[in-house]
């Protein structure tokens, strides 16, 4: 079977400024992929371009060997939590059911089947007891889990998530990590925009470094190097480089290596 | 008066017409408000005025259908212009709305003055579209309004799920394959229908309040979109009918302002006294909390 994501010569531009320039990227199946780069690097734009939500100037994207329009039912999407108004008059279960709207098609209303599906998805993110809660009364982490449950209701093979870890509590962060691993164990592919270099190598196993152009892509062991990070962040981000040096130390120390420096600092 | 409602020809038309307007604008207004497009209705309503005048100048007819088509075309033109201005310039949406609104309305007033000076015997009464004059509704008007309103409500009911998704998360809707732009244009067209229905009863100047008011009031009482849409329709109909009847019984009061005043009573009542979101209960809860903390 073809790769879940196959991007060729992709250029995206808002007005006159290119947001993404000549991207070539193939993402293999069954991976947890982190897209990492500085602000304005085009991370969200990359996801939106794949989903047909950004103005593609040139290039092609194929999903499991076909254009996205023919593969919608195989793809799930978690937008940034801040992209919607959480004071909207609806409850958690209702939002999760929106994940099934695609399968339902036009006009048909969600019924018992969709309600049960949505309930199972809420259970998977540990939110079953809050199904009837008005969404503005959920914490940020709970809102994020509702969005994840909605994507689960899409019952997809490939998931795109835009900054799922931003502004969430520790419980939610654990829940998301477990969910990602569970999805990988079931053979799904997950592509996340991620901003935290510290947690990236722990949560993900495949990396795409992006700064308008694609800097590097591949398994962390190969791509997560200080050289690549310097290219991505333009050397302006000293912190990024320090992260990577820790990572390289860890690798020398073996998979279970302790970071003595960290221990002291904490 | 209640019995006259069913027997008196004028009163029946007035009550039916304003109830229809309230239901349609209340239900559609919910989606405009939730998409933060309350002002769009205002621009569309003001834009209808030159449309009415041009339709009259071109045909010399005051038949409701002719004038309504003129109003709808002008509203549609204003929408296109607005979307183009927002897309092609760096102006923000509210500035673009202000420009389109005042340009169309100014042009409408000029045309209205021109028509009234032209001295044609037929011209009297076009100015009723400014503030509404429900007493002039005839059965034919109410029929036209009923057909338009039924069509708009049917589409709204059929695409409830799609419009909900569009209002909550347009990008997610697009990712699922629902054409967000097309749905948005359709929703705006339905709002133009609501405005056209309100032209004779409320008039172009205050029409936006009929879209925004019932929705804002209804949101105070419920956290469910379906319930909100129903409640807004009820609030819209109640203020429409009560306002129109008051204005008809007081000879020659313009209907629009009276309807909007009745609506204001409902909106204020909801803002202050609705159980979960009302300001009064907010204040009481805060006071209780303060008292508890002091007693600790």
Is pLDDT above 60 for A254? no
Banded pLDDT at B3 (limits 50, 70, 90):
low
Summarize pLDDT for A17-45 with one digit per residue, the tens: 889 999 999 999 999 999 999 998 999 99
Banded pLDDT at A266 (limits 50, 70, 90):
very low
Which of chain A's residues have a Cβ under 8 Å away from the Cβ of B171? Answer: 48, 53, 79, 83
Average pLDDT, chain A: 90
Q: Are B228 and A134 a contacting pair at CB < 8 A?
A: no
Distance, in Å, from the CA atom of B223 to the CA atom of B160, rounded to the nearest integer, reads: 16
Report the pLDDT value the prediction gives residue A258, as an integer from 0 to 100.
40
Summarize pLDDT for B202-229 with one digit per residue, the tens: 988 899 999 999 999 999 999 999 999 9
3-state SS, residue A6: strand
Identity of the residue in B165, B178, B223 whose CB atom sits nearest the CB atom of A89: B223
* Percent of chain B at pLDDT exceeding 90: 48
Is pLDDT above 60 for B97? yes
Report the pLDDT value the prediction gives residue A265, as an integer from 0 to 100.
35
Pairing of strands A158-162, A32-36: unpaired
Is pLDDT above 60 for B21? yes
Can you say how many angstroms the Cα of residue A162 is from the centroid of all Cα atoms in its chain? 5
Is pLDDT above 80 for A86? yes
Domains and CATH numbers, chain B: 2-211 (1.10.3470.10)
Find the mean pLDDT for residues A174-199: 95
Find the mean pLDDT for residues B93-111: 91
Residue of B nearest to A74 (CA): B176
Is pLDDT above 60 for A255? no
Structure tokens at B206: 């205050």
Report the pLDDT value the prediction gives residue B136, as an integer from 0 to 100.
83
Report the pLDDT value the prediction gives residue A262, as an integer from 0 to 100.
37
Which of chain B's residues have a Cβ under 8 Å away from the Cβ of A110? Answer: 161
Interface of chain B against chain A, CB under 8 Å?
A: 34, 36, 158-162, 164-165, 167-169, 171-178, 219, 222-225, 228
Distance, in Å, from the CA atom of A27 to the CA atom of A48, rounded to the nearest integer, reads: 16
Report the pLDDT value the prediction gives residue A260, as an integer from 0 to 100.
37
Identity of the residue in B168, B176, B223 whose CB atom sits nearest the CB atom of A72: B176
Is pLDDT above 70 for A246? no
Contact (Cβ atoms closer than 8 angstroms) between residue A151 and residue A192: no
Q: Are B225 and A89 a contacting pair at CB < 8 A?
A: yes
Identity of the residue in B36, B160, B219 whose CB atom sits nearest the CB atom of A89: B219
Distance, in Å, from the CA atom of A198 to the CA atom of A265, rounded to the nearest integer, reads: 15
Query: End-to-end alpha-carbon separation of chain B, Å?
Result: 59
* Percent of chain A at pLDDT exceeding 90: 82
Is pLDDT above 80 for A1? no
Please state the pTM of the whole predicted model.
0.90
Q: Within chain B, where are the H helices?
A: 2-7, 9-34, 38-59, 64-88, 93-117, 128-131, 139-158, 160-168, 170-175, 180-198, 207-221, 225-249, 255-273, 279-295
Q: Are A102 and B164 a contacting pair at CB < 8 A?
A: no
Banded pLDDT at A253 (limits 50, 70, 90):
low
Average pLDDT, chain B: 89
Is pLDDT above 70 for A236? no
How close, in Å, is residue A174 to chain B by CA atoms? 25
Report the pLDDT value the prediction gives residue B116, as an integer from 0 to 100.
83
Which of chain B's residues have a Cβ under 8 Å away from the Cβ of A63? Answer: none
Report the pLDDT value the prediction gives residue A182, as an integer from 0 to 100.
95
Contacts of A239 (CB under 8 A, 6+ apart): A197
Contact (Cβ atoms closer than 8 angstroms) between residue A129 and residue A109: no
Residue of B nearest to A99 (CA): B176
Q: Which of A9-13, A120-124, B43-47 has the lowest mean pLDDT?
A: B43-47
Report the pLDDT value the prediction gives residue B10, as an integer from 0 to 100.
83
Interface of chain A against chain B, CB under 8 Å?
A: 48, 51-53, 69, 72, 75, 77, 79, 83-85, 88-91, 95, 98, 101-102, 104, 106-110, 134, 150
Which of chain B's residues have a Cβ under 8 Å away from the Cβ of A77? Answer: 172, 175
Summarize pLDDT for B120-134 with one digit per residue, the tens: 656 667 888 888 888
Is pLDDT above 50 for A263? no
Look at B154 and B5; give whichever has higher pLDDT.
B154
Q: Are B175 and A52 a contacting pair at CB < 8 A?
A: yes
Identity of the residue in A48, A84, A107 whose CB atom sits nearest the CB atom of B159: A107
Report the pLDDT value the prediction gives residue A240, as an integer from 0 to 100.
58
Residue of A nearest to B159 (CA): A107
Q: Which of A58-62, A77-81, A148-152, B279-283 has the lowest mean pLDDT?
A: B279-283
Find the mean pLDDT for residues B92-112: 91
Banded pLDDT at A91 (limits 50, 70, 90):
very high
Contact (Cβ atoms closer than 8 angstroms) between residue A46 and residue A219: no
ipTM, two decimals: 0.89
Report the pLDDT value the prediction gives residue B253, as an integer from 0 to 100.
81
Residue of A nearest to B36 (CA): A85
């Amino acid at each position: 079977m073809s790769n879940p994501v196959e991007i060729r010569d992709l250029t995206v531009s808002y007005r006159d400024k290119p947001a993404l320039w000549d991207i070539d990227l193939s993402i293999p199946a069954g991976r947890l992929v982190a897209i990492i780069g500085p602000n304005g690097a085009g991370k969200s734009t990359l996801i939106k371009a794949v989903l047909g939500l950004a103005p593609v100037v040139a290039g092609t994207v194929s999903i499991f060997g076909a254009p996205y329009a023919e593969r919608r039912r195989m793809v799930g999407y978690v937008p940034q939590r801040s992209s919607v108004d959480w004071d909207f008059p609806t409850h958690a279960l209702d939002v999760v059911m929106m994940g099934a709207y695609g399968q339902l098609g036009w006009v048909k209303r969600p019924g018992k089947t969709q309600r049960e599906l949505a309930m199972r998805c809420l259970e998977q993110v540990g939110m079953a007891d809050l199904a009837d809660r008005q969404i503005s009364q959920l914490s940020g982490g709970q809102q994020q889990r509702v969005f994840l449950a909605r994507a689960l209701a899409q019952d997809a093979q490939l998931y795109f998530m835009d900054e799922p870890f931003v502004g969430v509590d520790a419980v939610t962060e654990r829940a998301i990590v477990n969910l990602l691993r569970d999805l990988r164990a079931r053979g799904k592919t997950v592509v996340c925009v991620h901003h935290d270099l510290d947690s990236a190598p722990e949560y993900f196993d495949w990396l795409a470094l992006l700064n308008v152009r694609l800097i590097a892509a591949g398994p962390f062991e190969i791509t997560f190097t200080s050289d690549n990070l310097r290219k991505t962040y333009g050397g302006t981000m000293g912190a990024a480089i320090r992260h990577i040096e820790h990572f390289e130390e860890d690798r020398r120390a073996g998979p279970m290596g302790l970071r003595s420096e960290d221990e002291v600092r904490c | 008066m209640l019995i006259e409602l069913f027997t008196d020809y004028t009163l029946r038309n007035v009550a039916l017409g304003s109830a229809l307007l309230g239901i349609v604008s209340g239900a559609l207004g919910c989606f405009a408000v939730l998409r933060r497009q309350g002002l769009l209705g205002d621009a569309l309503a003001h834009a209808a005025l030159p449309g009415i005048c041009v339709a009259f100048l071109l045909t010399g007819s005051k038949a409701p259908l002719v004038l309504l088509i003129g109003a709808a075309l002008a509203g549609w033109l204003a929408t296109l212009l607005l979307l183009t201005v927002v897309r092609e310039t760096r102006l923000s949406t509210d500035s673009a709305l202000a420009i389109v609104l005042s340009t169309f309305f100014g042009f409408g007033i000029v045309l209205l003055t021109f028509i009234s000076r032209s001295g044609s015997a037929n011209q009297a009464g076009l100015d009723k579209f400014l503030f509404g004059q429900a007493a002039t509704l005839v059965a034919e008007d109410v029929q036209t309004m009923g057909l338009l309103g039924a069509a708009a409500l049917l589409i709204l009911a059929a695409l409830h799920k799609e419009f909900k998704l569009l209002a909550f998360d347009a990008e997610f809707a697009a990712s699922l394959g629902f054409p967000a732009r097309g749905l948005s244009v359709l929703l705006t067209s339905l709002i133009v229908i609501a405005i056209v229905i309100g032209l004779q009863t409320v008039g172009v100047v205050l029409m936006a309040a009929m879209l925004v008011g019932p929705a804002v009031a209804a949101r105070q009482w419920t956290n469910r979109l379906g319930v909100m849409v129903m409640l807004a329709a009820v609030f819209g109909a109640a203020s429409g009918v009560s306002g129109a009847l008051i204005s008809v019984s007081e000879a020659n009061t313009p209907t629009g302002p009276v309807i909007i005043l009745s609506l204001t009573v409902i909106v204020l009542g909801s803002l202050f006294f609705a159980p979960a979101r009302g300001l009064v209960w907010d204040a009481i809860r805060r006071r209780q909390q303060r008292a508890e903390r002091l007693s600790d």
